[in-house]
Structures are given as structure tokens and as C-alpha cells.
């Protein structure tokens, strides 16, 4: 997955353009920038690649989620449905705007289970936020129907699945809003960065203003711009955008490398007894950043993960025990441990996690091992790895 593995001359050239002008900011200073607008160019490139009308770059994937929620008018006490298996950024962004995270089970797609989502919808629900974890997507048609039926917003977190598709459309472009991360370990990187994409002109305008202190971006004098509503600073710098501009041009090359290596590993593991694969919803194509397998039960998955480690197969994750990706280790969330007082809506409306039954998630995530697909491997290394994995998991 990590685009940093193939960092090179193209990235250096784009960054140099910015260094030579010295204009490190994405807005203004028109006369000094030698015609370089890296953030704007990267936004245009994302709009073209993702087939959407609007892309807004921001400072991180977490910022993208926060800006997306704020742009859709989500605020205090609104409930956002999110999966038990994700990254902490999901609830961080929800809490940042005073909204309430509602955790819901995942199924054998390792993303939101539509049946569990429907059961969690209540009068305060405003958003369904599927997270396309480890390269593959939620059942988006089912979630879309729920959104239409209950008048909700669909916000796709595609941070780990950029370049994947569903019914022929890029992931992120299917919901009302979609988010990407370009942090250092994502498929394409800016160092730090993120983006919101949408076809909704109102949300796009909100994202543009909100991510820059509410600036309306009219005219040539920043100081004279007006502020139609409250905002914040989630801007990306021109230096970061320059790195991303080089990387986005290589996205399809990166995806084809991932697909090839994923195919080799998957074919090798298909013959191993007790190993099955994560379900990809009909009409979906993964971005192949991870190969996700199920073993027969939690015990065999733990043993399998250890056997892989002992065989020297790196970059395989047993998420069930992970501090950052699974609800079981999110004591800071479940016990509401914040530096200051949290908003009353969050304190009053959050689920009581002592009484919550996530056994369905436990069952799937407990059986899962995810193996990262690296861009820097050679084909020989992948074949060697496949053989080691088969041997380790056959034991």
C-alpha cells in the first residue's frame, strides 16, 4: 500500500517547483508563484480520476472526515453510524464537531453490516459512515437504499481503499461525500494530507470555506474576504500538495502492482485448508492494498498470525488485538476520557458499551488476518513470501 515506497524524481520535481518560488501556501501570492498552484492541480486531478465535480484538499484524512461532516451541516447531537472495525479517526472526527458516534457491527465484508445499520437508525441519526477497510468496500447499494429510505447522508471513508470501485464507480464517489487520506502510509501520500470529494455543490462550497476559517475566497485580497459562517484551519500546504500531485499520477501504476502481487498471494493461499477470503460485495473491485483472510476461528487466527511472524512474513496484522483499529481497545472512547469536558449530547447519547453486543464483529474480526501488499517487492519476493505463508498456515 504505501506510496512512499516509490517516492522519486517526479515527487522531487513537483516539490522543487514550490521551493523555487517560495510560496508554500495554497492561496494567494499570485504574482510570486511562477504559475504553480499544486493544491488546485491536485484537486483537478482527483476530480478527473474520481469522476466527481468537486475535490477539496485538506491537511489529513481525519480533517477530511471532519470537514465532510461539517459541510453537510452535521452538528451537536446528530448521530453518525460508524463501524466497530475502523481507525480511531472515525469517532475523532464525529466528536470534533459535537456529533455522536454510534458503533455498529461489521460482517464478512469487514465493513458495516446493513442489517445492523438499519437496527441502529433512530430519530437523531443523520449520517451513515461506512469505512472501506483494508482495500475493500461496504455493501454500498444496501446502505444507499437505507439512506434514501430514512433521509440520511452517506459518507464514505475511502482512506484505505483509494482506486477501488463499486458498480464501475470509484470508491468515495458513490456516497453524498467521500474522504481520502494521503498520510505517509497510504496508497498515495502527501506526507500528510487528505481530500473530500462530492458532487453536491453546496457541500463543496462549505468544504472550501470551512477548511480555511470560513474564507469566502472571493477576490484577490484575503484580508478583505468575508466569512459567511464559522470555520477552522484544515488547509493543506503547497509543499504537501506537490508531493501528492506526483503521486496521484502514479495511482493506477500502484494499483496494478498491488493487483498483481495480491493475485499471486491469493492464488497460493486458495489451496490452504481452513483459509477463506473476505467477501467483496457484488459489483465491487478492491484496490488490492491488503489481502484479507479468515481462519476457522479466533484461536486458529491467533496461531496463524504467530506462525506467519515466526516464519519471517512481516506486515501481517491481527486487528482483533490492535489498539487503534478495533473497538475492544478504545477505552478512551468507551470510558469517555477526554482532556476537557465533552459536550452534553455526547455524554448523554453515547452507547453504553458495557451493555453493547458486538459479538458478530468479534466473530469476523477475531478470525481475520490482513496482509499488506507492498509496492517495493519484486515478483520473486512475492512468490517466496507466498510459499512461506502457505507453509506457515498449513501447520
Ligand X SMILES: *Cc1c(COP(=O)(O)O)cnc(C)c1O
Determine if 237 is a binding residue for ligand X (CB under 6 A): no
Determine if 159 is a binding residue for ligand X (CB under 6 A): yes
Query: Are 62 and 194 spatial neighbours (Cβ–Cβ below 8 Å)?
Result: yes
Grid cell 481475520 is found at: 368
Determine if 60 is a binding residue for ligand X (CB under 6 A): yes
**Size of residue set near ligand X by CB under 6 A:** 13
Cα separation, 290 vs 374, whole angstroms: 9
Which of 97, 102, 95, 77 lies closest to 353 in space, CA to CA?
Answer: 102
Determine if 62 is a binding residue for ligand X (CB under 6 A): yes
The cell numbers describing 185, all together, are 502510509
Q: Which is nearer to ligand X, 89 or 248 (CB)?
A: 89
Which of 186, 204, 203 lies closest to 194 in space, CA to CA?
Answer: 186
Determine if 131 is a binding residue for ligand X (CB under 6 A): yes
What lies within 8 Å, CB to CB, of 224 at 6+ separation is none
Q: Which is nearer to ligand X, 177 or 311 (CB)?
A: 177
Instruction: Spell out the alpha helix ranges (H) of 51-179.
Output: 61-71, 89-96, 114-120, 140-150
Dihedral, CA of residue 213, residue 217, residue 221 and residue 224, to nearest 10: -60
Q: Could you tell me the smallest distance in angstroms from the CB atom of residue 354 to ligand X?
A: 26
Q: By rule CB under 6 A, what string of x and - marks binding of each residue 186-215 to ligand X?
A: --------x---------------------
Q: By rule CB under 6 A, what string of x and - marks binding of each residue 87-126 to ligand X?
A: x-x-------------------------------------
Grid cell 464514505 is found at: 156
Judged by CB under 6 A, the stretch of 9-17, 59-67, 101-109, 272-280 that binds ligand X is: 59-67
**Which residue in the shown chain puts its C-beta closest to ligand X?**
61
- Of 111, 160, 189, 361, the one binding ligand X (CB under 6 A) is 160
Cα separation, 35 vs 17, whole angstroms: 10
Judged by CB under 6 A, the stretch of 22-30, 82-90, 216-224, 254-262 that binds ligand X is: 82-90
Determine if 43 is a binding residue for ligand X (CB under 6 A): no
The cell numbers describing 42, all together, are 491536485
Can 186 be counted among the known catalytic residues? yes
| Coil, strand or helix at 24 | coil
Would you name the residues annotated as active-site residues?
A: 186
Q: Which residues contact ligand X by CB under 6 A?
A: 60-62, 86-87, 89, 131, 157, 159-160, 181, 183, 194
Amino acid at each position: 500500500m504505501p506510496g512512499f515506497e516509490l517516492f522519486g524524481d517526479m515527487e522531487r520535481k513537483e516539490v522543487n517547483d514550490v521551493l523555487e518560488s517560495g510560496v508554500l501556501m495554497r492561496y494567494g501570492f499570485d504574482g510570486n508563484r511562477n504559475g504553480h498552484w499544486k493544491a488546485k492541480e491536485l484537486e483537478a486531478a482527483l476530480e478527473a480520476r474520481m469522476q466527481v465535480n468537486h475535490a477539496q484538499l485538506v491537511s489529513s484524512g481525519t480533517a477530511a472526515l471532519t470537514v465532510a461532516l461539517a459541510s453537510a451541516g452535521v452538528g451537536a447531537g446528530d448521530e453518525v453510524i460508524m463501524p466497530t472495525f475502523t481507525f480511531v479517526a472515525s469517532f475523532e472526527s464525529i466528536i470534533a464537531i459535537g456529533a455522536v458516534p454510534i458503533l455498529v457491527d461489521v460482517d464478512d465484508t469487514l465493513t458495516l453490516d446493513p442489517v445492523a445499520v438499519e437496527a441502529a437508525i433512530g430519530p437523531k441519526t443523520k449520517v451513515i459512515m461506512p469505512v472501506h477497510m483494508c482495500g475493500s468496500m461496504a455493501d454500498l447499494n444496501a446502505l444507499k437504499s437505507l439512506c434514501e429510505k430514512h433521509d440520511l447522508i452517506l459518507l464514505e471513508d475511502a482512506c484505505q481503499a483509494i482506486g477501488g470501485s463499486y458498480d464501475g464507480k470509484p470508491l468515495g464517489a458513490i456516497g453524498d461525500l467521500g474522504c481520502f487520506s494521503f498520510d505517509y502510509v497510504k496508497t498515495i501520500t502527501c506526507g500528510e494530507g487528505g481530500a473530500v470529494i462530492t458532487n453536491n455543490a453546496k457541500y463543496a462550497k462549505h468544504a472550501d470555506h470551512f477548511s480555511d476559517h470560513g474564507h469566502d475566497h472571493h477576490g484577490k485580497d484575503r484580508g478583505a474576504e468575508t466569512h459567511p459562517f464559522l470555520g477552522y484551519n484544515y488547509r493543506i500546504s503547497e509543499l504537501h500538495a506537490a508531493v501528492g500531485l506526483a503521486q496521484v499520477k502514479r495511482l493506477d501504476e500502484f494499483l496494478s502492482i498491488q493487483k498483481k502481487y495480491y493475485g499471486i498471494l491469493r492464488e497460493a493461499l486458495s489451496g490452504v485448508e481452513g483459509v477463506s477470503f473476505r467477501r467483496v460485495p457484488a459489483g465491487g473491485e478492491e484496490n488490492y492494498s491488503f489481502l484479507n483472510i479468515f481462519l476457522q476461528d479466533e484461536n486458529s487466527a491467533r496461531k496463524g498470525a504467530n506462525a506467519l511472524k515466526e516464519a519471517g512474513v512481516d506486515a501481517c496484522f491481527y486487528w482483533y488485538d490492535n489498539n487503534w483499529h478495533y473497538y475492544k481497545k478504545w477505552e478512551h472512547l468507551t470510558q469517555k476520557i477526554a482532556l476537557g469536558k465533552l459536550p452534553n449530547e455526547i455524554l448523554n447519547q453515547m452507547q453504553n458499551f458495557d451493555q453493547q453486543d458486538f459479538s458478530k464483529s468479534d466473530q469476523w474480526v477475531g478470525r481475520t488476518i490482513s496482509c499488506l501488499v507492498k509496492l517495493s517487492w519484486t515478483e520473486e519476493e512475492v512468490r517466496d513470501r507466498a510459499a512461506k505463508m502457505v507453509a506457515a498456515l498449513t501447520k
